[in-house]
């Protein structure tokens, strides 16, 4: 069996210093910040996910101060889910691993969307909630995993003509290659905007 190895040059990726958003048309989407992904004893631990917690918490504080709706996604699988053939068993419904981490627990008015696949729009009420409940046309997306659930959700959002903003200090991946590949795809394929949490302004 042969393997591909080598050094890849990262294309230039623009990171905006500041992104000013209308709070009445924006929602924050927190992707899969669950025990199985974030905690070292989780079944699909992402080593850099814990480092994003302070940035995500700061974003949520900004959003709540500006009355910006916050939506969490929660990977939520039945026993024997076919996805386990790819990743092994994880985020099984009603287990510790499937719970959102204590550091980022949803507030009573936040919305939680349970999903079966990478894409938070697939087979869920997310599009309905965005269009008819919170009336958002712009999404600020943070969470994990950058090149999997974050990227697939950002892609679906963009293809449904939502504006996509991703703070790069609020997402995590299994390795650097996957992280930078996600940033490239978000900007190049989907015309999403990258910034940092400190650059997100609700006005």
Mean pLDDT, rounded, for 162-190: 98
Kindly state the average pLDDT of the residues 136-144.
Answer: 98
32 part of the active site: yes
What the chain holds in terms of domains, given with CATH numbers, is 19-202 (3.40.50.850)
d(CA 192, CA 130): 18
In the chain, % of residues over pLDDT 90: 98
Does residue 173 carry a pLDDT above 90?
yes
**pLDDT over 90 at 1, yes or no:** no
Cis omega before residue 156 (within 30°)? Answer: no
- Residues 121-145 have a mean pLDDT of 98
d(CA 178, CA 10): 12
> What integer pLDDT is reported at residue 108 of this predicted model?
96
pTM over 0.85: yes
Q: Which of 62, 75, 115, 119 is catalytic?
A: 115
**Catalytic position from the list 32, 36, 119, 169:** 32
pLDDT in tens, 76-96: 999 999 999 999 999 999 999
Mean per-residue pLDDT, 11-22: 97
Count Cβ atoms within 10 A of the Cβ of residue 64 and give its class: 0-12 exposed, 13-18 middle, 19 or more buried.
middle
Residue-level pLDDT at 43: 97
**Catalytic residue selected from 36, 119, 149, 169:** 149
Residue 180 to residues 145, 174, 196: CA-CA distances in angstroms? 12, 11, 15
């Amino acid at each position: 069996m042969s393997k591909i190895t080598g050094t890849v040059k990262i294309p230039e990726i623009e990171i905006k210093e500041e992104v000013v958003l209308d709070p009445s048309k924006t929602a924050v989407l927190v992707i899969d910040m669950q025990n199985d992904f974030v905690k070292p004893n989780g079944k699909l631990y992402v080593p850099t996910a814990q480092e994003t917690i302070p940035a995500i918490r700061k974003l949520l504080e900004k959003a709540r101060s500006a009355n910006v709706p916050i939506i969490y996604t929660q990977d939520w699988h039945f026993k024997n889910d076919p996805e386990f053939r790819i990743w092994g068993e994880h985020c099984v419904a009603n287990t510790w691993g499937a719970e959102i981490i204590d550091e980022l627990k949803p507030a009573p008015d936040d919305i939680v969307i349970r999903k079966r696949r990478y894409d938070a729009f697939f087979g869920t009420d997310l599009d309905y909630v965005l269009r008819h409940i919170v009336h958002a046309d712009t999404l600020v997306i943070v969470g994990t995993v950058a090149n999997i659930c974050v990227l697939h959700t950002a892609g679906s959002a963009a293809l449904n003509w939502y504006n996509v903003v991703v703070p790069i200090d609020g997402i995590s991946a299994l390795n650097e290659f996957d992280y930078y590949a996600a940033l490239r795809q978000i900007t190049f394929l989907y015309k999403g905007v990258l910034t940092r949490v400190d650059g997100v302004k609700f006005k």
